Structure 1
Amino acid sequence: MAGGNAIRGTRVGAGPMGESERGETAPRVRVSYWCANGHQTTPAFACEAEQPEFWDCPRCGLPAGQSHEAPPAPPRNEPYKTHLAYVKERRSDADGAAILEEALNRLRKHREEV
């Protein structure tokens, strides 16, 4: 049963007026981009706008380029590193042993004073 408010489901500015009310749209050009998975996307840009070299694929999120034969490579994901892994990159085992010995000596000295 239809009834009630006649403007239900519409929004302000929507309606049949089209371009005559809002003005002419800028001329557009569609550019094709391909990702490493072979997905194609064709966003529209204003003719006078500069088209970006890369575009994110809306299907898989990989970067897409304008060359179908040579799409950009997927980004290399670095594995998660713990704080300890970063410390081990900066310090050798000998450095770690020296720092540990220094800290233990401070603790022993502090215990003797108390």
Structure 2
Amino acid sequence: MAGGNAIRGSRVGAGPMGEAERGEAAPRVVVSYWCSNGHETRPSFAEEPGLSVPEQWDCPRCGFPAGQDQQNPPAPPRVEPYKTHLAYVKERRSDEEGAVILDEALESLRSRGLIT
């Protein structure tokens, strides 16, 4: 239907969904959070008794944690460098233990005739 004036994804009688169909909006409270990069985030929360506002919120711009105190935001998390499989193995075993395991594996391969 080229050039038609039908609205795709709609049905006859569909109108904008307004407050009358959804019900009344809950009262909201807006809280400001600041990260260590100085970004401000202002999420809103339902204002209901018994519900508490979180102390920290993740900054949507940089991903660092953000707090409600602009002068003293939470410190960014310490990023551990990438470790190889060998680095994890070396944490668990000493060089002497590794040499013993290697000798056992080589002897097993030699006994099966896979290496000389």
Do the aligned partners of residues 108 and 9 (structure 1) sit closer, same or farther apart at CA in structure 2, a change above 3 Å counting? closer
1:34 equivalent in alignment to 2:34: yes
Structure 1, unpaired ranges of 5+: none
- Counterpart amino acid of residue 107 in structure 1: L
Deviations 1:69-91 (A, max 9, x none): 21111111111111111111111
Misfit runs of 4+, over 4 Å: 7-13
TM-score, normalised relative to structure 1: 0.77
Question: What is the CA distance between 1:31 and its match in structure 2?
Answer: 0.5
Q: Which residue of 2 aligns with 1:106?
A: 108
Distance 1:31 1:10 in 2: 37
Q: Deviations over 1:51-83 (max 9, x none)?
A: 122111122121111111211111111111111
Indicate the residue corresponding to 2:45 in structure 1: 45
How far 1:96 moved relative to its partner?
0.8
Compute the TM-score of the two structures, normalised by the length of structure 2.
Answer: 0.76
Classify the secondary structure of the residue corresponding to 2:112: helix
User: For the residues of structure 2 that align with 1:38 and 1:99, how far apart are their CA atoms?
Assistant: 52
1:67 aligns with 2:80: no
* Identical-residue share of aligned pairs (%): 67
Are the structure 2 counterparts of residues 34 and 13 from structure 1 closer, same or farther at C-alpha, using a change threshold of 3 Å? farther
Paired residues, what number?
Answer: 106
Would the alpha carbon gap of residues 21 and 100 (structure 1) be closer, same or farther in structure 2, given more than 3 Å must change? closer
